[in-house]
């Protein structure tokens, strides 16, 4: 009889545990279906030299970061110094996708805050963004030598993510042929 | 009062303008395509504002996705091809109605399992209750009850 009286309490505890797990998960983070798949093909004019094309082919054959950014995006500004620092310290190239931005604003941004990108593609319509499943800027993809997407960061890269996830993975991918 | 009515009128006209802006920009020569378009954009979730469909949302991305659906329908793509295109980029998350597969079995069957359990418990409870005999009264107690009831009747009459 006493045990039976405990059943509601146990049920309540299970419910609380389930809700607590639910609270720690961020519903804004949609797992990317692109991980393990080849990087979507694109070819767009560059931000700085419109007559030059930036394409997926540019970063195949090396481990590369592909960072989606825009001058209107506040979180990108927060992330930017880290990218600039990364570009100074490491050889891994960063390619940019300037997403739904004005060219003049984008150029000014690179002049003021520094340009960590080997090259940035200018995606005014956001069509390449859709192909890459971009829904919240900034987003960063890590692409291996064969052009397969291996990691995706939604939202700004933090020191923690850089040191504990991105850098170890870059080292591992550099070993692969 | 006059200003109030005027303000209400302005608000109403604004509201109607907005809904028109969301839908009238897409013209279809074929009414069937228009119907498919309306159905599809009401089934796809806006990934930025997650509790809205791309039909409801004013987010930039939702507009882009509506444009994409529009273009794909006019290109002669089937509903399934359009949904597959979205799922390939944003996962099943973009579908308001998730597909039945291994990872969603619990989601789909959960409510029925819960209801089944509730029915089992309810039946067990009712059976147990009908099985317990109602307490019996012996002759002596019965007489006492009758006496008490009579007494009470007298009391109420006297009041």
| Assembly ipTM | 0.72
pLDDT tens by residue, A37-46: 899 999 999 9
Domain boundaries, chain A: 33-175
Mean pLDDT of A146-172: 92
Nearest to B93 among A30, A34, A131 (CB): A30
Range of the domain at B80: 8-99
- Which of B99, B122, B148 terminates a domain? The answer is B99
Q: What is the CATH number for B18?
A: 1.10.8.640
- State the Cα–Cα distance between residues A131 and A134, nearest whole angstrom: 8
A32 and A149 Cβ atoms separated by less than 8 Å: yes
Place of tokens 């091809």: B81
Give the pLDDT score at B21.
Answer: 45
Mean pLDDT of A155-177: 91
Place of tokens 């507009």: B63
B48 and B13 housed in the same domain: yes
Residue B16 lies in a domain: yes
Q: pLDDT-based confidence at A72, cuts 50/70/90?
A: very high
Number of domains chain B is built from: 2
Just give the CATH number of A33-175: 3.40.30.10
B54 and B125 housed in the same domain: no
Give the pLDDT score at A132.
Answer: 92
In the predicted model, is pLDDT for residue A111 greater than 50? Answer: yes
A108 and A131 Cβ atoms separated by less than 8 Å: no
- Which residues in B lie closer than 8 A to residue A126 (C-beta atoms)? 60-61, 64
B20 and B71 housed in the same domain: yes
Residue of A nearest to B68 (CA): A127
In the predicted model, is pLDDT for residue B18 greater than 60? Answer: no
Whether B22 contacts chain A with CB within 8 A: no
In the predicted model, is pLDDT for residue B69 greater than 50? Answer: yes
How far apart are the CA of A95 and the nearest CA of chain B, in angstroms?
20
Q: pLDDT-based confidence at B56, cuts 50/70/90?
A: confident
Residue B95 lies in a domain: yes
How far apart are the CA of B14 and the nearest CA of chain A, in angstroms?
28
Residue B64 lies in a domain: yes
Cβ contact, residue pair A34, B89, below 8 Å: yes
Residue of B nearest to A31 (CA): B91
- Which residues in A lie closer than 8 A to residue B61 (C-beta atoms)? 126, 135
B21 and B68 housed in the same domain: yes
B119 and B49 housed in the same domain: no
Higher local confidence (pLDDT), B16 or B154: B154
Q: Which of A96, A99, A156 is nearest to A128 (CA)?
A: A99
Residue B89 lies in a domain: yes
B89 and B111 housed in the same domain: no
What string of DSSP letters covers A84-149? HHHHHH--S-EEEEEES--HHHHHHHHHHH----SEEEEESS-HHHHHTT--SSSEEEEE-TTSBE
3-state secondary structure of A44: strand
In the predicted model, is pLDDT for residue A110 greater than 90? Answer: yes
The per-residue pLDDT of chain B, averaged, comes to: 82
Residue of B nearest to A125 (CA): B64
B95 and B121 housed in the same domain: no
């Amino acid at each position: 009889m006493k045990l039976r009286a405990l059943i509601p309490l146990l049920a309540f505890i299970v419910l609380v545990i389930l809700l607590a797990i639910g609270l720690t998960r961020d519903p804004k983070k949609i797992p990317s279906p692109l991980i393990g798949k080849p990087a979507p093909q694109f070819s767009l004019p560059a931000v700085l030299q419109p007559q030059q094309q930036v394409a997926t082919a540019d970063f195949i054959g090396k481990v590369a970061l592909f960072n989606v950014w825009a001058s209107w995006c506040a979180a990108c500004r927060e992330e930017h110094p880290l990218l600039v620092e990364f570009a100074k310290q490491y050889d891994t190239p960063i390619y940019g996708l300037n997403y739904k931005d004005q060219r003049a604003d984008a150029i000014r941004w690179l002049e003021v805050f520094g340009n960590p990108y080997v090259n940035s593609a200018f995606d005014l319509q956001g069509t390449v963004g859709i192909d890459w499943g971009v829904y919240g800027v900034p987003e960063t993809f890590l692409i291996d030598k064969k052009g397969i997407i291996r990691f995706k960061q939604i939202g700004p890269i933090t020191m923690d993510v850089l040191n504990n996830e991105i850098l170890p993975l870059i080292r591992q991918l550099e070993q692969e042929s | 009062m006059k200003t109030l009515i005027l303000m209400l009128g302005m608000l109403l006209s604004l509201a109607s303008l907005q809904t028109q802006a969301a839908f009238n920009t897409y013209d279809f020569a074929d009414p069937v395509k228009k119907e498919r378009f309306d159905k599809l954009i009401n089934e796809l979730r806006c990934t930025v504002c997650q509790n809205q469909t791309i039909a409801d949302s004013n987010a930039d991305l939702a507009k882009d996705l509506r444009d994409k659906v529009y273009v794909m329908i006019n290109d002669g793509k089937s509903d399934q091809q359009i949904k597959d295109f979205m799922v390939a980029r944003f996962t099943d998350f973009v579908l308001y109605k998730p597909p039945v597969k291994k990872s969603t079995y619990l989601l789909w069957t959960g409510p029925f399992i819960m209801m089944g359990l509730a029915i089992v418990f309810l039946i067990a409870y009712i059976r147990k209750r009908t099985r317990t005999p109602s307490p019996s009264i012996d002759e002596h107690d019965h007489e006492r009850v009758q006496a008490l009831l009579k007494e009470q009747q007298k009391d109420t009459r006297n009041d």
